[in-house]
A and B are shown apart, each in its own frame.
Chain A
Amino acid sequence: AQSVTQPDIHITVSEGASLELRCNYSYGATPYLFWYVQSPGQGLQLLLKYFSGDTLVQGIKGFEAEFKRSQSSFNLRKPSVHWSDAAEYFCAVGAGNNNDMRFGAGTRLTVKP
C-alpha cells in the first residue's frame, strides 16, 4: 500500500530565506505526487503535481518540487519565503485508476520576520 512520510513536523525559517520541505513516499509503481497547502481553518490548495516527464516541476506561488525515484522523495522548495507562506504543507501520493490519495502528516511552516 502507498504511504507518505514527512519527517519534519514543524519548520521555522526567516522571511527571505530558502525553504525545503521533505517528503518520502512508498509505492510499488510510478506514483502520482502532490503538494497541498492548508492555511488555518481553510481547505486544501494544490501547489503542484508530478505525473511523469521532467522531474523538476513548477507550481504556484513560486514553489517547485523535484521527484527523485532513487530516493523515493518529492521535496518541495522555494528560494525566498514570504510571510504569507506560513501554513501547513501536505505531501500526497495517488495511486491506481481512481488516484486514491494518501497524505503525509504535514509540515507546519512558521515564517519569522
Chain B
Amino acid sequence: EPEVTQTPSHQVTQMGQEVILRCVPISNHLYFYWYRQILGQKVEFLVSFYNNEISEKSEIFDDQFSVERPDGSNFTLKIRSTKLEDSAMYFCASMQSNYEQYFGPGTRLTVT
C-alpha cells in the first residue's frame, strides 16, 4: 500500500540554524500539507499546497517558514532561523481528491 514518507525521523539543530524537512507524498496525490505537534499538545495545521502554490496557511506559518515541491515528488518544509519553540513533531500529509489525508510518520525536530 502506498504511503507518505518523511526524512529524517529525528533532526537536532541549534537555534538560529536553517532546517529542511523532507516528505515524499503518495505519487498520484494533488494536495499536500504540513502539520506540527508540540510535545503533549494537539496537532496544528501549518500550510496546504496545491497546484504548486500555497492554498492556505495558519498564523503559525510566518515568514520563517516556506514550502516547496522542487521536483514533482518531494515536498519540503524549510524553517529559516529556528527557535526553541519550533521544537515539535512535524507531520506531512497528502490527499488525492477524496478528502482523505494520509499522514507520514513525522519528523521530530529538536532545537537546542
Contact = CB atoms under 8 A, between A and B. Distances in A.
Interface residues of B, number: 22
Contacts of B106: 43
B82 interface: no
Interface in B93-112: 95, 99-106
Interface residues of A, number: 23
If over half of B's interface residues share one DSSP class (helix, strand or loop), that class is named, otherwise mixed; here it is strand
Interface string A25-52: 0000000100010000011111001010
A106 B45 CA distance: 15
Contact of B56 (A32, A44, A92, A100): A100
Contacts of B100: 46, 49
Interface of A: 32, 36, 42-46, 49, 51, 90, 92, 94, 96-106
Given A43-B91, A92-B43, 6 more contacts: A46-B100, A94-B101, A102-B45, A103-B42, A105-B42, A106-B42
Interface of B: 31, 33, 35, 41-45, 48, 50, 55-56, 91, 95, 99-106
12 contacts: A43-B104, A44-B103, A45-B103, A46-B100, A94-B101, A98-B50, A99-B99, A100-B33, A101-B35, A102-B45, A103-B35, A104-B42
